[in-house]
């Protein structure tokens, strides 16, 4: 019986740990007009303020609901079809905001970045590096890319891409990324999705293969090498400007079905992928090469299957990808499909919770879920389901432990104003902060900062509205820590409490001192001091100046009929 009890306790502990809301976890959402997310309508009259404000209002409404779900990052499309969702010198305006090549009258990227940061959300710029046209989107004959660089475009059926085998294309893609991170230096990340070569490639790139294959690689190895070189050139450029901007890629969920490909890396294939789409040999995306060469910070494969799908299944894929990321010292954040989260379809909410639990089980220090996509997140009310089921507490994005800390100092002068705005003085180069609300007396115990228990959120800038926590003002204290771009936290700066909250003050002066509290009484008065738990620790009649030594904490002071709440 004793052994059974111990086993039950152990299993209960494992279950609790699996579903606990961790302090660090990537919780992101894919947002694209292509998938019907944002914007859902175009500006038909460039510069029309009403239409611009409607687009802006739609996004801010959506971001409020992303924040409500305790997510911490947004992956927003900024380059979809060799275009730009921002004013660019290198690509025409996207047709998803206004018409292609037409300035809509505002900068959607700048607006989205600002609004994400207002809500403490990271902003990762989602880019398709090579895609030019899709089966449903074509560009006119006078499109700048078609006019200026017709030799860069490979036509594959009714799709087209920029040629990865052309060195000028690779440099162009790196320069597009460079333009973004220089124009918007406050962005948090760059992420690519699953468009590389097009499935069904024939001899369209034969001219590049002949001209740019000095090592005599096979066609497949050459194509993979071209993609790898593009990844490396972009990554190295980011490191040269700001290594704190995270660079990740989201390839299809199945790396390869080829055992010979796996043998090159000394690994085995995932279970249950036989007969599935071989990404390695069809679109020439080699996620293991990027992990091995350390030319990405994280990989987020699109594991859009149920846990009990016959082939492939979610558990097998994420178990394998997590092991590969750990083997090569990088992060794995699973991309999960919400588009079939319906009891009548192959995906359910219960399966979503199981997938999140599995992500956490596989990596307790850097788990992650990137949900595809916003439309289904909203349709299925994930903004209320997630905080009620798995994302009960806010979470910081994972620590990039394989990069050097920026060594930022701690904030100072943490004060809650009468307007319930918490403010602090930022250290040099401070931009992002983690905010905690701890029981009075526990703010200097560093163990209280190791979990999400007392974490209430993050802020870009030096203030946060804390009105939602007013029920704890009398018993808790705020603490603020600087976050560098890698996720390292500074030492905490604790809220200064310089005023006493009271309901009546006739002839009484009460103040905080370095040792406790002091009272100045103009007449004999009955004084009682209680802990917040109701324990009476001081009781008597006093007159004139009186000082009571107290430990740090929260107290209730009763002077005659006046009730005071004080945090020392």
Length of the chain: 568
pLDDT tens digits in sequence order for the chain, 568 residues long: 433 333 334 334 434 444 578 999 999 999 999 999 999 999 999 999 999 999 999 999 999 999 999 999 999 999 999 999 999 999 999 999 999 999 999 999 999 999 999 999 999 999 999 999 999 999 999 999 999 999 999 999 999 999 999 999 999 999 999 999 999 999 999 999 999 999 999 999 999 999 999 999 999 999 999 999 999 999 999 999 999 999 999 999 999 999 999 999 999 999 989 889 999 999 999 999 999 999 999 999 999 999 988 889 999 999 999 999 999 999 999 999 998 766 666 678 899 999 999 999 999 889 999 999 999 999 989 999 999 999 999 999 999 999 999 999 999 999 999 899 999 999 999 999 999 999 988 998 999 999 999 999 999 999 999 999 999 998 899 999 999 999 999 999 999 875 444 433 455 667 777 678 888 888 888 988 888 667 888 899 988 888 888 887 778 888 887 777 777 7
Distance CA 465, CA 5 (A): 46
- Nearest Cα to Cα of residue 226 among 162, 140, 318, 299: 162
Q: Judge whether 394 and 434 are in contact, CB under 8 Å.
A: no
Give the C-alpha distances (Å, rounded to integers) separating 367 from 104, 382, 453.
38, 19, 17
End-to-end CA gap in the chain: 49
Residue 146: enclosing H or E segment and its boundaries?
helix 144-148
3-state helix, strand, coil in the chain (%, to 5): 30, 25, 45
SS3 label, residue 199:
coil
- Name the residue among 512, 495, 482, 498 with its Cα closest to residue 413: 495
Dmax over CA atoms of the chain, in Å, equals 100
Distance CA(527)–CA(531), nearest Å, equals 14
CB neighbours of 28 closer than 8 A, spacing ≥ 6? 71, 72, 73, 74, 75, 122, 124, 333, 368, 369, 370, 371
Strands of the sheet with 153-156, listed across from one edge:
131-133, 159-162, 153-156
């Amino acid at each position: 019986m004793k052994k059974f009890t111990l086993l039950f306790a152990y299993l209960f502990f494992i279950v609790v740990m699996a579903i606990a809301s961790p302090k660090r976890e990537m919780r992101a959402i894919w947002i694209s007009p292509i998938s019907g997310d944002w914007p859902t309508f175009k500006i038909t009259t460039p510069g029309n303020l009403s239409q611009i404000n409607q687009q802006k209002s739609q996004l801010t409404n959506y971001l409020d609901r992303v924040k409500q779900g305790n997510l911490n990052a947004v992956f927003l499309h900024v380059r979809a079809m060799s275009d730009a969702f921002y004013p660019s010198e290198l690509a025409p305006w996207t047709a998803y905001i206004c018409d292609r090549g037409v300035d809509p009258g505002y900068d959607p990227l700048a607006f989205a970045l600002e609004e994400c940061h207002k809500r403490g959300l990271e902003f990762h710029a989602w880019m398709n590096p090579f895609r030019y046209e899709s089966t449903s989107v074509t560009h006119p004959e006078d499109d700048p890319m078609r006019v200026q660089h017709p030799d860069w475009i490979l036509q594959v059926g009714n799709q087209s891409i920029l040629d990865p085998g052309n060195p000028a294309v690779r440099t162009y893609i790196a320069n597009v990324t460079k333009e973004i991170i220089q124009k918007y230096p406050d962005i948090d990340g760059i992420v690519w999705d699953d468009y590389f070569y097009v499935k069904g490639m024939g001899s369209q790139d034969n001219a590049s293969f002949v001209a740019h294959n000095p090592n005599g690689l096979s066609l497949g190895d050459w194509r993979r090498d071209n993609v790898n070189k593009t990844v490396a050139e972009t990554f190295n450029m980011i490191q040269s400007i700001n290594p704190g901007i995270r660079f990740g890629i989201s390839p299809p969920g199945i790396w390869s079905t080829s055992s010979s490909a796996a043998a090159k890396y000394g690994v085995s294939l995932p279970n249950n992928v036989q007969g599935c789409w071989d990404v390695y040999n069809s679109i020439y995306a080699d996620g293991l090469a990027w992990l091995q060469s350390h030319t990405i910070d994280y990989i987020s494969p699109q594991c859009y299957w149920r846990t009990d799908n016959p082939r492939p299944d979610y558990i097998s894929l994420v178990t394998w990808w997590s092991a590969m990321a750990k083997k090569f010292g990088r992060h794995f954040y699973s991309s999960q499909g919400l588009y079939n989260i319906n009891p009548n379809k192959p995906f359910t909410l219960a399966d979503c919770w199981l997938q999140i639990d599995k992500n956490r089980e596989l990596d307790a220090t850097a788990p992650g879920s990137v949900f595809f996509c916003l439309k289904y997140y909203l349709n299925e009310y994930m903004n209320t389901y997630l905080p009620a089921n798995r994302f009960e507490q806010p979470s910081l994005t994972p620590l990039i432990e394989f990069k050097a800390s920026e060594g930022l100092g701690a904030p100072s002068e943490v004060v809650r104003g009468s307007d319930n705005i918490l403010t602090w003085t930022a250290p040099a180069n401070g931009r992002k902060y983690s905010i905690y609300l701890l029981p009075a007396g526990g703010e200097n115990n560093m163990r209280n900062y190791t979990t999400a228990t007392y974490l209430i959120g993050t802020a870009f800038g030096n203030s946060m509205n804390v009105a939602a926590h007013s029920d704890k003002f009398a018993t808790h204290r705020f603490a603020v820590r600087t976050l560098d771009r890698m996720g390292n936290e500074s030492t905490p700066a604790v809220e200064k409490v310089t005023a006493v909250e009271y309901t009546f003050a006739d002839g009484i002066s009460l103040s905080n001192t370095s040792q406790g509290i002091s009272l100045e009484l103009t007449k004999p008065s009955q004084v009682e001091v209680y802990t917040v738990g109701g324990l009476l620790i001081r009781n008597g009649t006093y007159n004139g100046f009186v000082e009571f030594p107290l430990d740090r904490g929260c107290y209730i002071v009763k002077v005659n009929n006046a009730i005071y709440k004080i945090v020392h």
